[in-house]
Chain A
Amino acid sequence: MDSTKKLIPLAALQHYAFCPRQCALIHNHQLWAENWHTAKGQLLHERVDRGEPETRKDIRFERSVSVHAPSLRLTGKLDLLEINSAENTLIPVEYKKGKSKVDDCDRIQVCAQAMCLEEMLGVEISDGAIWYWQTKRREKIELTEKLRKRTRGVIEAVGELFDNESLPKAVFMRACNNCSLLDLCEPKVSQADRSVGYMEAIFKDDYEKTTK
């Protein structure tokens, strides 16, 4: 990997899976805005990242573990790593404030975390987990080849987005209403780009057209 290229933060993969434009606004244009969702997520992570490492019944729990995998171009942090010395397994665990989703965006993040660990430690990891705060449920994530392939695809797509410094066009969808960048992204403004007609109407001095 070209070391001059910007590394991809793990969070960017999830941003991309949610919306490529959101990912570009945050990571290429450095825009950020807080809303109810982001604030709640921050609070949750403050709570779970603070814990000291502890060992219970052969399992060691390490919190807020930094990972860095140059060949994957990834960098970031895991919420929790469970090291089971009896079974000789590693399980990356991600905390999410909501509930389990149909789409893969949360799973992709955990899969990427596991791939980072595999590269750093030279081990193989078969499972990860997500702890959903709202439903108080722990979901087991099998790191299948299919999920890994999707994850590699997203990493590649985010890498391209970073390298080209491009900004995907906005497409307004229901999820936009939960996005903290809604006011900065203005999907409705750019999706319906009427600016050419608007300018023509000004020059034509065509009052009717601009007031439609």
Chain B
Amino acid sequence: MKKLQNSLFITRQKSYVHKQRETIVVEQESEKILQIPIHAIKSIFCFGNVIVSPFLLGFCAENGVGLAFFTEYGRFLARIQGPQSGNVLLRRIQYEKTKSAPLDVARAIIAAKIVSSRSVLQRHIRNYGSQDDVVKVIGRLKHNLEQARVDPSLDRLRGTEGVAAANYFSVFQHLVRVENDAGFAFNGRNKRPPTDPINAMLSFLYSVLGNDISAALQGVGLDPQVGFLHTDRSGRDSLAMDLLEELRAWWVDRLVLTQVNRREIKARDFSQAVSGAVTMSESARKALLKAYQEKKHEEVEHPYTKEKLPIGLIPHMQAMLLASHLRGDLECYPPFVYR
């Protein structure tokens, strides 16, 4: 199994990142603020106005170090990519399958998403006592799961997934456990731009995780842009979005809730523009990324392979399982389910 190497997140504005012999150096106004060995780093994420030297770009491309740029909101902008790994055959099968028979993989992903979302709600009830609304939604999600099992087309399946997501988010507010919401009122998902702090955090981390998944897919030679559930759209990593569906609720949603409920992040960490768009402060972004990185080192048992692995390697594991399925080693694609 791959080793989990570290990611470097650069959130400080106007940073200049460059390569000095075998190290990565981060400078601000010509002052060195960080220097680390280059071989310890698996990926570099830059948020907002961060400048990277062409030599570091080249190094990252050549050595398979992921390097990605995001806006300050965490919206993905661009990624550096080295030469494609050689697995043409696998990609050919991927293009063929996504076009001619996408339903089974899409169904597996949606099933896992519904089960895991439901588990997040069930766990909340186990910990904090029963709430009628939440119990009702848990029941509805079970129906959504049964529906997903028999949906005859991709469109119908997408419809079921939309209903399930609306159900789940309709009670998400109950999972926020700070007094009088303390500025964390949540009325369903909104994005582009997010108009409340919780949505801002969700969007931000979905984007970061999606990019980790893209890198994992490329690592096994799959094309992150061609998906089963999400249609091709230029500039969108559809396959990464597919796999993200399995991981959203139990990985990102819970992490955001924990940060809010432990009061690690407060409402004053956000500011709202006239347009309604909400922006996170740099300290909040840092706290979120730190929590996200720490979560990667937590170990879980993989529900299919039964081996213990750090959460950070789950995107890699799912990419491998999907490749195994496409190569014909596994009859079904086994998605990650959280219980």
Contacts and interface: CB of A to CB of B under 8 A. Distances in A.
Nearest to B305: A189
A210 B329 contact: no
A165 B90 CA distance: 10
Contacts of A193: 329-331
Contacts of A195: 304, 325, 330-334
Contact of A170 (B85, B329, B332): B329
A207 interface: yes
A196 B337 contact: no
A28 B321 CA distance: 19
A190 B329 contact: yes
A202 B115 contact: yes
Contacts of B321: 189
B99 interface: no
Interface string B76-106: 0000000001111110000000000000000
Interface residues of B, number: 35
A199 B332 contact: yes
Contact of B327 (A29, A205, A207): A29
Contacts of B339: 207, 210-211
Q: Is the interface of B mostly helix, strand, loop or mixed?
A: loop
Contacts of A203: 111, 145-146, 149
Given A202-B115, A203-B145, A196 B332 contact: yes
B324 interface: yes
A135 interface: no
Interface string B279-320: 000000000000000000000000111000000000000001
A165 B89 CA distance: 8
Interface in B81-137: 85-90, 108, 111-112, 115
B32 interface: no
Interface in A128-153: none
Contact of A167 (B1, B2, B328, B332): B328
Contact of B90 (A29, A183, A199): A29
B328 A205 contact: no
Given A169-B329, A198-B334, A210-B337, 18 more contacts: A29-B87, A29-B89, A30-B88, A30-B89, A30-B221, A184-B320, A186-B329, A189-B305, A189-B329, A189-B330, A195-B330, A195-B331, A195-B334, A196-B332, A199-B108, A199-B111, A205-B145, A211-B339
Interface of A: 28-31, 165, 167, 169-170, 183-184, 186, 189-190, 193-196, 198-199, 202-203, 205, 207, 210-211
